[in-house]
Structure 1
Amino acid sequence: MWARHLALVFAVFVPVLAQEALAQEKAGVRTVSFERLNRVYEQLIDDLSLIEIGPAEVALRSPAHSLTVSRHVATLTAGDDGVFEAELELEVSGSGQIAADVVIGSLESQLTQELVVPAQTLRLEGEIAIRRDEEGYWIRTERMPPTTQVRIESELGTQLFTVCRQMALVLVSLDCEAIERAVTLISVPLPEAGGEYLIALEDTTPEERRDFDRFLGQSRKP
C-alpha cells in the first residue's frame, strides 16, 4: 500500500501544468507547480528500509503519521514516445510514530517512539510516460530511484544506542553510533518502475487541462 501511495504522490506532482509564466523558453521543457497539491497527506508509508549493521538488524515502520507538503516544483523534459525526464523538488514536514523491531545477536526487542519530520527539501529524479483519455491523465513510471532519504527526530536513536551499548559488552563488532545515525536519516523505499496511476479530470481545473493538453501536444515528436 505504501508503494502505491508514494508512486501516486510522485505521479501527481510531476505532470500537473501550472501557469505559462512558469514555462521555460526551451521547447519541450517546462517547470510546473500545482497549489492544490500543497496539503497534508496521511499514512503515505508503512514499512521502511531494513537497517543491517554488523550483527544488528532494525526493521522500521511508521504505524501512524502525517506529511505536509508546503511547496513543490517539478521540471518536465520531453523525450521520445511520450516519455518525460522528471525532476521533482518538495518541501515537507510532518509528525507521527516510528516503531522498530530490533535483533542484536540473541536480543530481540520492540521499540516505539513519537517522531517529528523537520522541515526539509526532498529531490527525486525519474522518467514517466503520460497518456490522456476520457478519465484523465494516466502516468506510468518508467524509472524511479530505489529510495529517498528523510531526516527525522525522535528518541528512538537514543533508545537503540542504550540497548546497543549493553550488547556491545559481548558483541565487540557492534557500531552503536552508526545504528543511531541510521534511524535519524532513514531510507524510504520507493516503488519499482512500471506502475500506472490516474490523475482524474475532477482533480484538475479546465485551465490546467487546457494548458497541459497543449504542452503534451507540443511535446510529441513529429
Structure 2
Amino acid sequence: MPKKVLFALTSHGTLGDTGRSTGFYVPEVAHPAAVFRAAGYEIAYVSVRGGEPPRDGYNAEDQVQADFLADPDTVAALSRTAAPGELSADDYDVVFYAGGHGAMWDLPGATELAALAAGVYERGGVVAAVCHGPAGLVNIRLGDGSYLVEGKQVSTFTNEEEQAVGLTEVVPFLLESRLAERGAKITKTGNFAEHAVADQRLVTGQNPASALRVAELVVEQLEAPLEAPAA
C-alpha cells in the first residue's frame, strides 16, 4: 500500500493587528507535495478548523506552485479539508505541518491535531514541519509525558529571520525560543538559506527554502530499512 502523507494547515488568516492577511504558505505545501507524489505517496489535508484554509505566499511564476493549484483534485481537497477530530492516526504515515505566519496563532493550541500527530509518531510514522509549521510541535506530548521535540535536533524559522521580516513584535511568541524552552536542540544557518534536519523520525526545516529538503528527508526516513534486532 502507498504511504499516506497528511499536510496540517493553519486556519488563521489575519496577521495580528497589522491589517494584513496570512494563511498557510503555498510553496511549503506545493514543493513537498511534488516530492511525495514522485515517491508514489498519497496526499491528504487537515486544517485546524476544517473547510477551506486561508493561503499566503503564492507565486504564479513558480511552475511547481502553479501546477499544484491547477490540479482539480488538489483544489477540491483544499476547499474541504478535514478537521482533526474526523481523522485517525492509524491511516497516516506522515503528518507534515506547513508554515505561513498564521500557524503561530492556531497551531500551538490545536490539541486534537497535536494528538493526531503524536499518534502517527508513536505508531512509527514521521512528523515533519517547516518554517512556522513547528508552531504545531510546541505542545505535542508523547505517551510518557515528554515533549516530542525534547532532546531532538529541530530547525525552525529563527528569531533572526523573524526580526528580518519585521514581525518580532507581531507574532504571539518567538518560535525558536519556545521550542528551545521545550527542550529542542535548535540547529540553524543564515537567514533564509536552506537548512533541514532529521532526528528520530522528526524532520524539520528552517524556512520556505527548506521545504523541498524536508520532504526529501521524510522520504528517506520512511524508506530507511528497519534495523535488524541484535543477535
Relative to the length of structure 2, the TM-score reads 0.26
Larger helix proportion of the pair: 2
Larger strand proportion of the pair: 1
Q: Rg larger in 1 or in 2? A: 1
